[in-house]
Structure 1
Amino acid sequence: MNWFTKTFSSTIGRKIIMSVTGLFLCSFLVVHLVGNLTLFYQDGGEAFNIYSHFMANNPVIRTMEIVLVLGFLFHIYDAIVLTRRNKAARPVGYAENHPQENSTWSSRNMGLLGTIILVFLLVHLWNFFVPARFGELEGVPNAEYTNLYAEVVKAFKNPIYVGLYVISMIALAYHLIHGFQSAFQSLGLTHKKYTPFIKTFGVAFSVLISLGFALIPLYFFFFVNL
Protein backbone atom coordinates (compact mmCIF):
# COMPACT_ATOMS: atom_id res chain seq x y z
CA MET A 1 0.00 0.00 0.00
CA ASN A 2 3.03 2.27 0.30
CA TRP A 3 3.11 2.99 -3.44
CA PHE A 4 -0.62 3.75 -3.36
CA THR A 5 -0.24 6.22 -0.50
CA LYS A 6 2.74 7.91 -2.13
CA THR A 7 1.00 8.15 -5.49
CA PHE A 8 -2.17 9.78 -4.20
CA SER A 9 -0.40 12.04 -1.74
CA SER A 10 1.80 13.43 -4.50
CA THR A 11 0.83 16.61 -6.33
CA ILE A 12 -0.20 14.66 -9.43
CA GLY A 13 -2.19 12.19 -7.34
CA ARG A 14 -4.00 14.96 -5.50
CA LYS A 15 -4.83 16.66 -8.80
CA ILE A 16 -6.37 13.39 -9.99
CA ILE A 17 -8.47 13.18 -6.82
CA MET A 18 -9.48 16.82 -7.28
CA SER A 19 -10.54 16.08 -10.85
CA VAL A 20 -12.51 12.93 -10.08
CA THR A 21 -14.30 14.44 -7.08
CA GLY A 22 -14.93 17.66 -9.02
CA LEU A 23 -16.58 15.83 -11.92
CA PHE A 24 -18.58 13.75 -9.44
CA LEU A 25 -19.81 16.94 -7.77
CA CYS A 26 -20.78 18.27 -11.21
CA SER A 27 -23.07 15.26 -11.63
CA PHE A 28 -24.60 16.06 -8.24
CA LEU A 29 -25.30 19.63 -9.36
CA VAL A 30 -27.22 18.34 -12.38
CA VAL A 31 -29.36 15.99 -10.28
CA HIS A 32 -29.94 18.64 -7.61
CA LEU A 33 -30.95 21.28 -10.15
CA VAL A 34 -33.36 18.93 -11.94
CA GLY A 35 -35.04 18.20 -8.61
CA ASN A 36 -35.18 21.87 -7.64
CA LEU A 37 -36.87 22.77 -10.92
CA THR A 38 -40.03 21.23 -9.45
CA LEU A 39 -40.23 24.45 -7.45
CA PHE A 40 -41.49 26.14 -10.62
CA TYR A 41 -44.53 23.85 -10.83
CA GLN A 42 -47.75 25.75 -10.19
CA ASP A 43 -49.10 23.20 -7.71
CA GLY A 44 -48.55 24.89 -4.35
CA GLY A 45 -45.29 23.05 -3.82
CA GLU A 46 -46.72 19.51 -3.98
CA ALA A 47 -44.20 18.21 -6.54
CA PHE A 48 -41.26 19.66 -4.63
CA ASN A 49 -42.49 18.28 -1.30
CA ILE A 50 -42.92 14.81 -2.81
CA TYR A 51 -39.46 15.02 -4.36
CA SER A 52 -37.93 16.15 -1.04
CA HIS A 53 -39.70 13.35 0.85
CA PHE A 54 -38.37 10.78 -1.63
CA MET A 55 -34.81 12.11 -1.35
CA ALA A 56 -34.96 12.06 2.45
CA ASN A 57 -36.31 8.52 2.77
CA ASN A 58 -34.88 6.52 -0.11
CA PRO A 59 -32.08 4.26 1.25
CA VAL A 60 -30.05 4.48 -1.97
CA ILE A 61 -30.14 8.27 -1.85
CA ARG A 62 -29.21 8.29 1.82
CA THR A 63 -26.18 6.10 1.04
CA MET A 64 -25.17 8.38 -1.81
CA GLU A 65 -25.32 11.33 0.58
CA ILE A 66 -22.41 9.79 2.49
CA VAL A 67 -20.46 9.42 -0.76
CA LEU A 68 -21.33 13.02 -1.61
CA VAL A 69 -20.07 14.33 1.74
CA LEU A 70 -16.84 12.38 1.32
CA GLY A 71 -16.48 13.80 -2.18
CA PHE A 72 -16.84 17.35 -0.84
CA LEU A 73 -14.36 16.72 1.98
CA PHE A 74 -11.72 15.19 -0.31
CA HIS A 75 -12.20 17.99 -2.83
CA ILE A 76 -11.84 20.72 -0.21
CA TYR A 77 -8.89 19.09 1.56
CA ASP A 78 -6.96 18.51 -1.66
CA ALA A 79 -7.66 22.08 -2.76
CA ILE A 80 -6.12 23.38 0.48
CA VAL A 81 -3.08 21.09 0.20
CA LEU A 82 -2.45 21.99 -3.46
CA THR A 83 -2.83 25.70 -2.78
CA ARG A 84 -0.26 25.53 0.03
CA ARG A 85 2.14 23.55 -2.14
CA ASN A 86 1.82 26.06 -4.97
CA LYS A 87 2.52 28.96 -2.62
CA ALA A 88 5.50 27.14 -1.11
CA ALA A 89 6.90 26.51 -4.59
CA ARG A 90 6.50 30.21 -5.47
CA PRO A 91 7.25 32.15 -2.29
CA VAL A 92 7.93 35.35 -4.24
CA GLY A 93 4.59 35.23 -6.01
CA TYR A 94 3.52 36.42 -9.42
CA ALA A 95 4.24 40.12 -8.97
CA GLU A 96 6.94 40.20 -11.61
CA ASN A 97 5.55 37.51 -13.89
CA HIS A 98 2.36 39.23 -15.14
CA PRO A 99 0.07 36.27 -14.35
CA GLN A 100 -2.88 37.92 -16.11
CA GLU A 101 -1.10 37.29 -19.38
CA ASN A 102 -0.70 33.57 -18.75
CA SER A 103 -3.81 32.58 -16.81
CA THR A 104 -7.46 33.45 -16.35
CA TRP A 105 -8.86 35.39 -13.41
CA SER A 106 -10.82 32.34 -12.22
CA SER A 107 -7.73 30.10 -12.26
CA ARG A 108 -5.86 32.58 -10.05
CA ASN A 109 -8.76 32.92 -7.63
CA MET A 110 -10.05 29.37 -7.23
CA GLY A 111 -9.37 29.57 -3.49
CA LEU A 112 -11.54 32.68 -3.11
CA LEU A 113 -14.28 31.24 -5.30
CA GLY A 114 -14.20 27.96 -3.41
CA THR A 115 -14.42 29.76 -0.07
CA ILE A 116 -17.50 31.71 -1.18
CA ILE A 117 -19.14 28.47 -2.34
CA LEU A 118 -18.27 26.71 0.93
CA VAL A 119 -19.75 29.52 3.05
CA PHE A 120 -22.90 29.44 0.93
CA LEU A 121 -23.12 25.66 1.22
CA LEU A 122 -22.98 25.80 5.02
CA VAL A 123 -25.69 28.48 5.14
CA HIS A 124 -27.78 26.58 2.60
CA LEU A 125 -27.57 23.34 4.60
CA TRP A 126 -28.52 25.17 7.77
CA ASN A 127 -31.57 26.72 6.09
CA PHE A 128 -32.90 23.61 4.37
CA PHE A 129 -31.15 20.31 5.12
CA VAL A 130 -31.06 20.67 8.91
CA PRO A 131 -34.76 21.64 9.28
CA ALA A 132 -35.81 18.91 6.82
CA ARG A 133 -33.92 16.12 8.58
CA PHE A 134 -33.78 17.22 12.21
CA GLY A 135 -36.35 19.99 12.63
CA GLU A 136 -40.08 20.10 13.25
CA LEU A 137 -41.46 21.20 9.90
CA GLU A 138 -45.17 21.67 9.38
CA GLY A 139 -46.81 18.69 7.73
CA VAL A 140 -48.98 18.82 4.63
CA PRO A 141 -52.65 18.00 5.42
CA ASN A 142 -53.67 14.47 4.37
CA ALA A 143 -50.10 13.66 3.24
CA GLU A 144 -47.14 11.83 4.75
CA TYR A 145 -44.57 14.48 3.79
CA THR A 146 -43.64 17.80 5.38
CA ASN A 147 -44.05 21.23 3.81
CA LEU A 148 -40.45 22.06 2.89
CA TYR A 149 -41.82 24.23 0.08
CA ALA A 150 -43.08 26.72 2.68
CA GLU A 151 -39.54 26.98 4.10
CA VAL A 152 -38.20 27.66 0.61
CA VAL A 153 -40.70 30.47 0.05
CA LYS A 154 -39.85 31.99 3.44
CA ALA A 155 -36.08 31.79 2.88
CA PHE A 156 -36.26 33.31 -0.59
CA LYS A 157 -38.11 36.34 0.71
CA ASN A 158 -34.99 37.30 2.66
CA PRO A 159 -33.04 39.76 0.46
CA ILE A 160 -29.75 39.03 2.26
CA TYR A 161 -30.05 35.31 1.61
CA VAL A 162 -31.14 35.84 -2.00
CA GLY A 163 -28.17 38.17 -2.53
CA LEU A 164 -25.78 35.61 -1.04
CA TYR A 165 -27.34 32.91 -3.19
CA VAL A 166 -26.93 34.84 -6.46
CA ILE A 167 -23.37 35.96 -5.66
CA SER A 168 -22.47 32.38 -4.78
CA MET A 169 -23.89 31.12 -8.08
CA ILE A 170 -21.74 33.64 -9.94
CA ALA A 171 -18.74 32.33 -7.99
CA LEU A 172 -19.84 28.77 -8.84
CA ALA A 173 -19.95 29.61 -12.55
CA TYR A 174 -16.38 30.91 -12.54
CA HIS A 175 -15.22 28.01 -10.36
CA LEU A 176 -16.76 25.47 -12.74
CA ILE A 177 -15.49 27.14 -15.91
CA HIS A 178 -11.90 26.68 -14.80
CA GLY A 179 -12.41 23.47 -12.84
CA PHE A 180 -14.22 21.57 -15.60
CA GLN A 181 -11.48 22.13 -18.15
CA SER A 182 -8.72 21.63 -15.58
CA ALA A 183 -10.19 18.27 -14.52
CA PHE A 184 -9.85 16.82 -18.03
CA GLN A 185 -6.27 18.13 -18.28
CA SER A 186 -5.31 16.56 -14.94
CA LEU A 187 -6.77 13.23 -16.05
CA GLY A 188 -4.75 13.40 -19.27
CA LEU A 189 -7.90 13.62 -21.41
CA THR A 190 -6.64 16.23 -23.81
CA HIS A 191 -6.61 16.11 -27.59
CA LYS A 192 -6.26 18.88 -30.15
CA LYS A 193 -9.47 17.70 -31.79
CA TYR A 194 -11.64 17.35 -28.67
CA THR A 195 -10.19 19.87 -26.20
CA PRO A 196 -11.89 22.91 -27.86
CA PHE A 197 -15.24 21.11 -27.54
CA ILE A 198 -14.55 20.29 -23.88
CA LYS A 199 -13.77 23.96 -23.22
CA THR A 200 -16.95 25.13 -24.95
CA PHE A 201 -19.08 22.49 -23.27
CA GLY A 202 -17.53 23.36 -19.90
CA VAL A 203 -18.40 27.04 -20.24
CA ALA A 204 -21.95 26.26 -21.37
CA PHE A 205 -22.42 23.72 -18.57
CA SER A 206 -21.06 26.11 -15.93
CA VAL A 207 -23.22 29.03 -17.02
CA LEU A 208 -26.44 27.04 -17.46
CA ILE A 209 -26.13 25.18 -14.14
CA SER A 210 -25.32 28.34 -12.19
CA LEU A 211 -28.00 30.37 -13.97
CA GLY A 212 -30.56 27.65 -13.33
CA PHE A 213 -29.88 27.73 -9.60
CA ALA A 214 -29.76 31.55 -9.44
CA LEU A 215 -33.14 31.94 -11.15
CA ILE A 216 -34.91 30.00 -8.39
CA PRO A 217 -34.43 32.48 -5.51
CA LEU A 218 -34.97 35.44 -7.86
CA TYR A 219 -38.26 33.95 -9.03
CA PHE A 220 -39.51 33.42 -5.48
CA PHE A 221 -38.30 36.83 -4.30
CA PHE A 222 -40.06 38.77 -7.04
CA PHE A 223 -43.05 36.66 -8.09
CA VAL A 224 -44.17 34.35 -5.25
CA ASN A 225 -46.11 35.61 -2.25
CA LEU A 226 -45.85 34.24 1.28
Structure 2
Amino acid sequence: MSKSKPILTSSLGRKLVMSLTGLFLCSFLVIHLIGNFQLFANDEGYAFNNYAYFMTHFAPIKVVSYLLYASIVIHAVYALILTIQNKKARPVQYNQYDGKSNSAWNSRNMGILGTVLLVFIATHMQNFWWKYHNDQVPYIEYTKDLNTGTITSRELSASEFTDYLVTTDNGQEVTKARDLYKQVDFTFQNVGLVILYVVAMFALAFHLIHGFQSAFQTVGFNHRRYIGIIRFIGVWVFGVLIPIGFAAMPLYFYFIK
Protein backbone atom coordinates (compact mmCIF):
# COMPACT_ATOMS: atom_id res chain seq x y z
CA MET A 1 0.00 0.00 0.00
CA SER A 2 1.45 3.34 -1.02
CA LYS A 3 1.51 6.21 1.38
CA SER A 4 0.79 9.70 0.15
CA LYS A 5 3.13 12.49 1.21
CA PRO A 6 1.87 15.22 3.51
CA ILE A 7 0.90 18.18 1.38
CA LEU A 8 3.54 20.53 2.79
CA THR A 9 6.38 18.08 2.14
CA SER A 10 5.32 17.17 -1.39
CA SER A 11 6.65 19.02 -4.41
CA LEU A 12 3.21 20.44 -5.16
CA GLY A 13 2.73 21.48 -1.53
CA ARG A 14 6.06 23.31 -1.46
CA LYS A 15 5.17 25.12 -4.68
CA LEU A 16 1.84 26.11 -3.14
CA VAL A 17 3.55 27.49 -0.02
CA MET A 18 6.05 29.35 -2.19
CA SER A 19 3.21 30.84 -4.24
CA LEU A 20 1.24 32.00 -1.21
CA THR A 21 4.26 33.49 0.54
CA GLY A 22 5.35 35.08 -2.74
CA LEU A 23 1.98 36.76 -3.24
CA PHE A 24 2.06 37.99 0.36
CA LEU A 25 5.51 39.47 -0.26
CA CYS A 26 4.18 41.14 -3.44
CA SER A 27 1.46 42.85 -1.43
CA PHE A 28 4.09 44.03 1.05
CA LEU A 29 6.16 45.52 -1.77
CA VAL A 30 3.23 47.70 -2.84
CA ILE A 31 2.63 48.99 0.71
CA HIS A 32 6.34 49.47 1.38
CA LEU A 33 6.83 51.44 -1.85
CA ILE A 34 3.87 53.73 -1.12
CA GLY A 35 5.24 54.45 2.36
CA ASN A 36 8.77 55.03 1.13
CA PHE A 37 7.59 57.58 -1.43
CA GLN A 38 7.56 59.96 1.52
CA LEU A 39 11.34 60.07 1.14
CA PHE A 40 10.72 62.40 -1.82
CA ALA A 41 8.72 64.91 0.25
CA ASN A 42 10.44 68.26 0.67
CA ASP A 43 9.96 68.34 4.46
CA GLU A 44 13.40 67.39 5.86
CA GLY A 45 12.19 63.85 6.56
CA TYR A 46 9.22 64.85 8.74
CA ALA A 47 6.63 62.62 7.02
CA PHE A 48 9.02 59.69 6.54
CA ASN A 49 10.25 59.65 10.15
CA ASN A 50 6.68 59.75 11.46
CA TYR A 51 5.81 56.93 9.06
CA ALA A 52 8.82 54.91 10.25
CA TYR A 53 7.73 55.24 13.87
CA PHE A 54 4.15 54.23 13.06
CA MET A 55 5.28 51.17 11.07
CA THR A 56 7.49 49.94 13.90
CA HIS A 57 5.18 50.63 16.86
CA PHE A 58 1.59 50.05 15.71
CA ALA A 59 0.74 46.59 17.13
CA PRO A 60 -1.16 45.10 14.14
CA ILE A 61 1.63 46.13 11.78
CA LYS A 62 4.24 44.62 14.09
CA VAL A 63 2.36 41.30 13.91
CA VAL A 64 2.27 41.50 10.11
CA SER A 65 6.00 42.29 10.09
CA TYR A 66 6.75 38.99 11.86
CA LEU A 67 4.65 37.20 9.24
CA LEU A 68 6.72 39.02 6.64
CA TYR A 69 10.03 37.82 8.11
CA ALA A 70 8.69 34.27 8.31
CA SER A 71 7.46 34.45 4.71
CA ILE A 72 10.88 35.54 3.46
CA VAL A 73 12.60 32.64 5.25
CA ILE A 74 10.01 30.04 4.20
CA HIS A 75 9.99 31.29 0.60
CA ALA A 76 13.78 31.10 0.39
CA VAL A 77 14.08 27.68 2.09
CA TYR A 78 11.38 26.09 -0.04
CA ALA A 79 12.92 27.59 -3.18
CA LEU A 80 16.26 26.00 -2.26
CA ILE A 81 14.62 22.63 -1.59
CA LEU A 82 12.74 22.68 -4.90
CA THR A 83 15.88 23.71 -6.80
CA ILE A 84 17.84 20.80 -5.31
CA GLN A 85 15.00 18.38 -6.05
CA ASN A 86 14.73 19.57 -9.65
CA LYS A 87 18.46 19.16 -10.21
CA LYS A 88 18.37 15.63 -8.80
CA ALA A 89 15.43 14.77 -11.03
CA ARG A 90 17.15 16.30 -14.07
CA PRO A 91 20.85 15.41 -13.98
CA VAL A 92 21.34 16.56 -17.57
CA GLN A 93 21.64 20.36 -17.80
CA TYR A 94 19.17 22.53 -19.67
CA ASN A 95 21.62 23.40 -22.42
CA GLN A 96 21.63 19.77 -23.52
CA TYR A 97 17.95 20.01 -24.36
CA ASP A 98 16.36 21.64 -27.34
CA GLY A 99 13.67 22.93 -24.99
CA LYS A 100 15.92 25.61 -23.57
CA SER A 101 14.92 28.05 -26.28
CA ASN A 102 11.28 27.67 -25.19
CA SER A 103 12.07 28.55 -21.59
CA ALA A 104 12.43 32.16 -20.44
CA TRP A 105 15.81 33.14 -18.97
CA ASN A 106 14.31 34.34 -15.70
CA SER A 107 12.33 31.11 -15.21
CA ARG A 108 15.57 29.10 -15.57
CA ASN A 109 17.51 31.36 -13.20
CA MET A 110 15.08 32.05 -10.37
CA GLY A 111 17.66 30.66 -7.93
CA ILE A 112 20.30 33.19 -9.01
CA LEU A 113 17.81 36.05 -8.93
CA GLY A 114 16.60 34.94 -5.50
CA THR A 115 20.16 34.80 -4.17
CA VAL A 116 20.82 38.38 -5.31
CA LEU A 117 17.62 39.44 -3.55
CA LEU A 118 18.61 37.66 -0.33
CA VAL A 119 21.93 39.53 -0.29
CA PHE A 120 20.02 42.76 -0.91
CA ILE A 121 17.50 42.06 1.89
CA ALA A 122 20.27 41.27 4.38
CA THR A 123 22.10 44.48 3.46
CA HIS A 124 18.91 46.52 3.58
CA MET A 125 17.92 45.15 6.99
CA GLN A 126 21.39 45.78 8.41
CA ASN A 127 21.54 49.38 7.19
CA PHE A 128 18.06 50.44 8.22
CA TRP A 129 16.00 47.97 10.28
CA TRP A 130 18.85 46.91 12.57
CA LYS A 131 20.24 50.39 13.13
CA TYR A 132 16.79 51.90 13.70
CA HIS A 133 15.79 49.25 16.24
CA ASN A 134 19.15 49.35 18.00
CA ASP A 135 19.28 53.13 18.41
CA GLN A 136 22.11 53.61 15.89
CA VAL A 137 20.55 56.44 13.89
CA PRO A 138 20.62 60.21 14.60
CA TYR A 139 17.87 62.10 16.41
CA ILE A 140 15.87 65.07 15.20
CA GLU A 141 13.33 67.60 16.45
CA TYR A 142 10.71 69.09 14.13
CA THR A 143 8.74 72.23 14.87
CA LYS A 144 5.64 72.57 12.71
CA ASP A 145 3.57 75.73 12.59
CA LEU A 146 0.01 74.40 12.57
CA ASN A 147 -1.30 77.58 10.95
CA THR A 148 1.10 77.79 8.02
CA GLY A 149 2.37 74.19 7.83
CA THR A 150 5.98 75.44 7.89
CA ILE A 151 8.42 72.87 9.27
CA THR A 152 11.83 73.59 10.77
CA SER A 153 14.18 71.06 12.28
CA ARG A 154 17.29 70.69 14.38
CA GLU A 155 19.47 67.71 15.17
CA LEU A 156 19.21 66.39 18.72
CA SER A 157 22.02 64.99 20.81
CA ALA A 158 21.60 61.61 22.50
CA SER A 159 21.15 63.33 25.86
CA GLU A 160 18.21 65.38 24.49
CA PHE A 161 16.32 62.36 23.17
CA THR A 162 14.48 59.81 25.26
CA ASP A 163 11.78 58.48 22.94
CA TYR A 164 9.44 59.51 20.14
CA LEU A 165 7.34 62.38 21.44
CA VAL A 166 4.81 64.79 19.94
CA THR A 167 3.64 67.86 21.88
CA THR A 168 1.52 70.85 20.86
CA ASP A 169 1.62 74.33 22.35
CA ASN A 170 0.63 77.79 21.06
CA GLY A 171 -0.04 76.52 17.54
CA GLN A 172 3.35 74.76 17.37
CA GLU A 173 3.68 70.99 17.05
CA VAL A 174 7.03 69.69 18.28
CA THR A 175 8.07 66.16 17.29
CA LYS A 176 11.14 64.33 18.56
CA ALA A 177 12.05 61.23 16.57
CA ARG A 178 14.79 58.92 15.43
CA ASP A 179 16.07 60.32 12.15
CA LEU A 180 15.87 57.35 9.80
CA TYR A 181 15.64 59.82 6.91
CA LYS A 182 19.16 61.05 7.62
CA GLN A 183 20.35 57.44 7.84
CA VAL A 184 18.88 56.82 4.38
CA ASP A 185 20.62 59.93 3.04
CA PHE A 186 23.93 58.86 4.59
CA THR A 187 23.66 55.28 3.32
CA PHE A 188 22.93 56.28 -0.25
CA GLN A 189 26.05 58.42 -0.49
CA ASN A 190 27.90 55.09 -0.81
CA VAL A 191 28.13 54.39 -4.54
CA GLY A 192 28.66 50.67 -3.91
CA LEU A 193 25.36 50.41 -2.05
CA VAL A 194 23.59 52.44 -4.72
CA ILE A 195 24.84 50.03 -7.38
CA LEU A 196 23.78 47.04 -5.25
CA TYR A 197 20.28 48.45 -4.85
CA VAL A 198 19.87 49.14 -8.57
CA VAL A 199 21.19 45.68 -9.54
CA ALA A 200 18.88 44.12 -6.94
CA MET A 201 15.91 45.93 -8.48
CA PHE A 202 16.79 44.47 -11.89
CA ALA A 203 16.85 41.05 -10.23
CA LEU A 204 13.53 41.80 -8.53
CA ALA A 205 11.99 42.77 -11.87
CA PHE A 206 12.95 39.51 -13.58
CA HIS A 207 12.05 37.50 -10.47
CA LEU A 208 8.56 38.99 -10.28
CA ILE A 209 7.79 38.87 -14.00
CA HIS A 210 8.02 35.08 -13.80
CA GLY A 211 7.05 34.53 -10.16
CA PHE A 212 3.84 36.60 -10.07
CA GLN A 213 2.16 34.78 -12.94
CA SER A 214 3.57 31.41 -11.84
CA ALA A 215 2.08 31.87 -8.35
CA PHE A 216 -1.42 32.34 -9.75
CA GLN A 217 -1.01 29.25 -11.93
CA THR A 218 0.08 27.21 -8.93
CA VAL A 219 -2.93 28.20 -6.83
CA GLY A 220 -5.19 27.37 -9.78
CA PHE A 221 -6.20 30.93 -10.69
CA ASN A 222 -5.23 30.75 -14.35
CA HIS A 223 -8.51 30.93 -16.24
CA ARG A 224 -8.08 32.36 -19.74
CA ARG A 225 -10.48 35.16 -18.82
CA TYR A 226 -8.05 36.48 -16.21
CA ILE A 227 -4.65 35.35 -17.44
CA GLY A 228 -4.20 38.46 -19.58
CA ILE A 229 -4.66 40.90 -16.71
CA ILE A 230 -2.51 38.74 -14.41
CA ARG A 231 0.28 38.79 -17.00
CA PHE A 232 -0.15 42.56 -17.45
CA ILE A 233 0.07 43.24 -13.69
CA GLY A 234 3.01 40.86 -13.33
CA VAL A 235 5.01 42.53 -16.10
CA TRP A 236 4.08 46.22 -15.89
CA VAL A 237 3.31 46.67 -12.21
CA PHE A 238 5.61 44.20 -10.46
CA GLY A 239 8.18 43.82 -13.22
CA VAL A 240 8.52 47.50 -14.19
CA LEU A 241 6.85 50.12 -12.00
CA ILE A 242 7.69 48.74 -8.55
CA PRO A 243 11.40 48.03 -9.26
CA ILE A 244 11.76 51.47 -10.89
CA GLY A 245 10.12 53.09 -7.86
CA PHE A 246 12.51 51.42 -5.43
CA ALA A 247 15.57 52.05 -7.63
CA ALA A 248 14.66 55.75 -7.87
CA MET A 249 15.25 56.24 -4.14
CA PRO A 250 19.00 55.53 -3.93
CA LEU A 251 19.52 57.34 -7.26
CA TYR A 252 17.64 60.38 -5.95
CA PHE A 253 19.73 60.62 -2.77
CA TYR A 254 23.04 60.02 -4.57
CA PHE A 255 22.56 62.31 -7.57
CA ILE A 256 19.98 64.92 -6.51
CA LYS A 257 19.52 65.25 -2.77
> What TM-score, normalized to structure 2?
0.83
Structure 2 spans left out of the alignment, 5+ residues: 142-173
Is 2:91 the counterpart of 1:59?
A: no
Is 2:205 the counterpart of 1:173?
A: yes
**RMSD value over aligned CA atoms?**
1.4
Is 2:171 the counterpart of 1:139?
A: no
Alpha-carbon distance in structure 1 between the residues aligned to 2:194 and 2:136: 24
Structure 2 match to 1:9: 9
After superposing the two structures, state which structure 1 stretch, 97-106 or 168-177, moved more: 97-106
Alpha-carbon distance in structure 2 between the residues aligned to 1:115 and 1:151: 26
Return the letter of the residue paired with 1:81: I
Is 2:246 the counterpart of 1:213?
A: yes
Contact 2:7 2:13 in 1 (8 A): yes
Alpha-carbon distance in structure 1 between the residues aligned to 2:73 and 2:135: 25
Alpha-carbon distance in structure 1 between the residues aligned to 2:113 and 2:137: 33
Looking at secondary structure, tell me which structure has more helix per residue. 1
Structure 2 match to 1:199: 231
- Helix, strand or coil: the match of 2:207? helix
Looking at secondary structure, tell me which structure has more strand per residue. 2
Contact 2:19 2:215 in 1 (8 A): yes
TM-aligned CA deviation for residue 62 of structure 1: 1.2
- Helix, strand or coil: the match of 1:145? strand
After superposing the two structures, state which structure 1 stretch, 108-117 or 86-95, moved more: 86-95
Return the letter of the residue paired with 2:178: T
Contact 2:128 2:183 in 1 (8 A): yes
TM-aligned CA deviation for residue 137 of structure 1: 2.3
User: Which protein shows a greater Rg?
Assistant: 2
- Helix, strand or coil: the match of 2:43? coil
Sequence identity, in percent? 45
Alpha-carbon distance in structure 2 between the residues aligned to 1:98 and 1:106: 17
Contact 2:194 2:251 in 1 (8 A): yes
Q: How many corresponding residue pairs?
A: 222
Structure 1 match to 2:165: none
Structure 1 spans left out of the alignment, 5+ residues: none
Alpha-carbon distance in structure 2 between the residues aligned to 1:167 and 1:99: 29
After superposing the two structures, state which structure 1 stretch, 121-130 or 131-140, moved more: 131-140
Alpha-carbon distance in structure 2 between the residues aligned to 1:53 and 1:94: 48
